[in-house]
Amino acid sequence: MKFIDEAKIYVKAGDGGNGAATFRREKYIPMGGPNGGDGGRGGSIYVIADCNINTLVDYRYTRKFIGKRGENGGGADCYGAGGEDIVLRMPVGTVITDLNTGQVLADLDVNEKKVLLARGGKGGLGNLHFKSSTNRAPRQKTNGEQGEEFEVALELRVLADVGLLGLPNAGKSTLIRAISAARPKVADYPFTTLHPNLGVVRVGAEKSFVMADVPGLIEGAADGAGLGIRFLKHLQRTRILLHLVDIAPIDPDADPVRDAKAIVGELVKHDPDLADKPRWLVLNKLDLIPEDDCQAAIDQFLKAYKKATKYDGPVFPITAINGEGTKPLIYAIQEALDQMARPEIDDDALESPEESTTGEEPC
């Protein structure tokens, strides 16, 4: 199935039915009074997150969703039937934005989350509601309200704990293949990855995290070079970014330090908040460096890179193709994610045994 992560659709909830202005007419019952019923409610439009869907392709070809109108009210106190609701199922992680105002209408960040997108119009009132001691035969009625309508943009942002960042051919797909069951395409040419891939990384029997591999960035991506920055939105929900660097590029003119610095610059240009996420440095393809020169090459790169970027975070040398060095990396990621999920405890708010007033012994 083709991966589609953006779409635009038009939604229009159903209008409410009109109220009726009728009077009771039965034999032997003169002046029976008003008995016009209310109009039915228009059908609303709901969206629901579905973990079994992973693309917005359905909304590329069907772009209009119009709710059914409520039926008009009738005589003999008959109320009109309400219009049937429409439920649109979308991938988990879809963000829905009003194209006219830019307001976020829904963020489907949890499976089975259901959100009312467009409310159906209320039905009009029949003349039954307008009778009074001074108005015995009201002929007033009201028409149904119009349903809400929006032209909205759908944007899918995949849900992952860890995101992979780097140049094309830095080894991102190779890494996710080595540590998870995901099998993205791997080849010896740039831009092999054309859409995001997700992999579940198991850490022991009971713990795991989700890693996202997105197409590689190049210098000038913020201005549209290469595949641009359109896939970086898939990293906005991640908690840790892994910046993969090819420390042994085949091109003799390539400068790993300059290239790594350029990627950070593109990240800042695109979204400063994304650039502020915890970002770890992963040095890949150590197998292409002679064993005796490996540590010297790492030290030389880190000295120049830290001087150029003021980087002071973790560094993990690995060889993704054979998994060497990946175990310390995934255990460190899991430990960091556990700490992020753990609520902070205010030590000053904790009651010491001496200050306890419950009369019970401390545990």
Locus of tokens 């831009």: 191
Q: Please compute the mean of the pLDDT values over residues 238-256 and round it to a whole number.
A: 85
319/31: higher pLDDT: 319
CB of 42 closer than 8 Å to CB of 83: yes
Tokens found for residue 114? 């259901």
- Helix and strand numbers (H, E) in the chain are 6, 14
Of 90-104, 208-222, 257-271, 330-344, which gets the smallest average pLDDT? 208-222
The b-or-e profile of 282-310 (16+ CB within 10 A means b, else e) is: bbbbbeebeeeebeebbeebbebbeeeee
Query: Cα(4)–Cα(57) distance, rounded to whole angstroms?
Result: 5
What's the order of all strands across the beta sheet hosting 86-91?
86-91, 45-50, 114-118
Locus of tokens 């797909």: 173
Asked if the model's pLDDT at residue 193 lies above 60, the reply is no
- In eight-state DSSP terms, residue 228 is T
Query: Cα(316)–Cα(164) distance, rounded to whole angstroms?
Result: 14
What per-residue confidence (pLDDT) applies to 133? 82
Gyration radius of the chain's alpha carbons: 30
Q: In this structure, are strands 45-50 and 86-91 parallel, antiparallel, or unpaired?
A: parallel
Query: Cα(131)–Cα(24) distance, rounded to whole angstroms?
Result: 13
Q: In this structure, are strands 64-66 and 94-98 parallel, antiparallel, or unpaired?
A: unpaired
Q: Please compute the mean of the pLDDT values over residues 92-102 and round it to a whole number.
A: 90
What percent of the chain is modeled with pLDDT above 70? 84
Q: How confident is the model at residue 118 (pLDDT cuts 50, 70, 90)?
A: very high
Locus of tokens 């995001």: 196
Domains and CATH numbers, the chain: 6-156 (2.70.210.12), 162-341 (3.40.50.300)
**Largest alpha-carbon pair distance within the chain?**
111
360's CB contacts (< 8 A; 6+ apart) are none
CB of 352 closer than 8 Å to CB of 319: no
Average model confidence (pLDDT) across the chain: 82
What per-residue confidence (pLDDT) applies to 9? 94
Query: Cα(147)–Cα(86) distance, rounded to whole angstroms?
Result: 13
Q: Please compute the mean of the pLDDT values over residues 32-59 and round it to a whole number.
A: 89
CB of 116 closer than 8 Å to CB of 53: no
What per-residue confidence (pLDDT) applies to 352? 37
Tokens found for residue 86? 């429409």
CA atoms within 13 A on the CB side of 277: 27
AA identity, residue 247: I
Of 26-30, 174-178, 346-350, which gets the smallest average pLDDT? 346-350
